[in-house]
Amino acid sequence: MNNSLRANDSFRAPRSHAALWLIGLALLINAVVLAWPKANQTNMFSDQALGAAFPAPMASDHSTYVLPLRLGNKSWGLVLVDRRQRVFCVYRFLESASRLRLVAARDYRYDLLLRDYNNTAPTPAQVKAMVSSMLPPHPVKKNPPRKPAGNR
């Protein structure tokens, strides 16, 4: 048996590692987007920002985020969230084809206007009532008597 590599042999990573590469790529893209300098804004890798706390992602001006997502036991994907257009898209990584497939897309701007939808008991209004009943009543502040304007 010959252990030397033939010309058409190449190193191939197992396909199970492809999802991990995809997640790593998504995190790298997200880091680049967050670090990208804008006009009149300090780059997070500048001398001024090195001593500062790392900003929370949602506190940023950037509008699009890439987030890795586990969809099942052996299923991975990505979520793209566009804060300006208020849209998100979910992609599933198809390991057998080494591709991404769009699973869902949704404009969530009107979802944010809902206050109570598709909830089972206790609803948010019921929780509010329960918490209010457990709190002590607010003492009524009495206004001090006013002195007549002529008596000083």
pLDDT tens digit sequence for 50-95: 444 433 444 445 788 888 888 888 888 999 999 899 999 999 999 8
Q: What is residue 58's predicted lDDT score, i.e. its pLDDT?
A: 46
110-126 pLDDT, tens digit each: 999 988 888 888 988 89
**pLDDT score of 146 more than 50:** yes
What's the alpha-carbon Rg for the chain, to the nearest Å? Answer: 28
Rounded CA separation 10/147 (Å): 96
- Domain locations in the chain as residue ranges: 15-130
Global confidence as pTM? 0.46
Specify the DSSP element, H or E, that contains 146. none
22-36 pLDDT, tens digit each: 777 777 777 776 666
Beta bridge partner(s), residue 79: 67, 90
